[in-house]
Amino acid sequence: MSSEIKVDTISEKTSANGVVIDGVTLKDSKIGGTITIPGSTGTMALTSDISAGGLTYVGGINQTSTAATISVNNVFTSAYDNYLVLYHSLTANGTQCQVNLRLRASGTDVSTGYVGGRFYASLGGTVSGFVATGTSSFYAMDQTTNGPDRSATVMQIYKPQLAMDTNYSAYGFSPWNDGTKYFQNCYGVLENDNQYDGFTIFADGTPGEEIAAKIAVYGYAKS
């Protein structure tokens, strides 16, 4: 038997605990009120949110010990076109280094065909400039032992899993070894029609310069 209640308003009138409807407690029907769902599992979402998508975590790593390179494999798939990568530096060996990104397929990095550059400016606006970033990788950020855990960058990688050029942009903030703090905006394209399923982040190549970082990769919903 089905039943239905049709009224204009249901007012929560209890003094303390609210109204329980099928295990869900409603307390104070106003902004700032409380909806309590019992247990620690389950999902709360609006139907419009689900259909529209948003950002979905697809992989990453919390690497607390340093290594020469950190790779994240099998995160670019047909499920998404574009990706967001959050890179938060944890520790760094070496005085200062430049951190770069290479795309990879089936565990092999690609080291040719990159075109890009970066704008940078120091906090306070006394220094600014633009430099090309070479053909062997995208530029991600500066990293030093001078507060490496204060360095972070946001990278966006466009359609890496499709057989066409892959675009890249990034912006971040990090201190240099003399204490100056820099904003950086980086842009580029990997000019070939290959498909990629992951990426590698690495310091500029000087032995002893290593990185540790928390990396999170998210896919942008297609719609």
Partner 1 sequence: MAVEDYIAEATTDVEAAKPIMKIEADGTDVTESELTDAEYTLRINDLAAYKNYIALEKYKDDRQRKYPSIPDQLDDIFHNGLDAWKATIQTTKDKYPKP
| Closest approach of partner 1 to the CB of residue 167, in Å | 23
| Closest approach of partner 1 to the CB of residue 114, in Å | 12
Residue in 105, 94, 124, 95 with CA at minimum distance from that of residue 193: 105
Among 26, 68, 152, 221, binds partner 1 (CB under 8 A): 68
Among 25, 63, 82, 195, binds partner 1 (CB under 8 A): 63
Point out which span in 10-18, 44-52, 122-130, 156-164 binds partner 1 (CB under 8 A): 122-130
For partner 1, the closer CB: 176 or 183: 176
The C-alpha atoms of residue 176 and residue 182 are separated, in whole angstroms, by 7
72 touches partner 1 by CB under 8 A: yes
Is the CA virtual torsion 111, 202, 131, 168 positive or negative?
Answer: positive
Residue in 18, 148, 57, 48 with CA at minimum distance from that of residue 94: 148
For partner 1, the closer CB: 25 or 180: 180
Residues 74-103 that bind partner 1 (CB under 8 A): 74
β-bridge pairing 55-67 and 34-36: unpaired
Instruction: HSE, CB side, 13 Å, CA atoms: give it for residue 150.
Output: 13
The C-alpha atoms of residue 144 and residue 175 are separated, in whole angstroms, by 7
| Closest approach of partner 1 to the CB of residue 111, in Å | 6
106 touches partner 1 by CB under 8 A: no
Among 67, 90, 152, 162, binds partner 1 (CB under 8 A): 67
The C-alpha atoms of residue 126 and residue 199 are separated, in whole angstroms, by 34
Among 70, 85, 140, 157, binds partner 1 (CB under 8 A): 70
194 touches partner 1 by CB under 8 A: no
Q: Which residues contact 82 (CB under 8 A, 6 or more apart)?
A: 156, 157, 158, 159, 219, 220
Q: Which residues bind partner 1 (CB under 8 A)?
A: 59-61, 63, 67-74, 107-109, 111, 122, 125-129, 131, 134, 136, 176, 180, 202, 204-208, 215
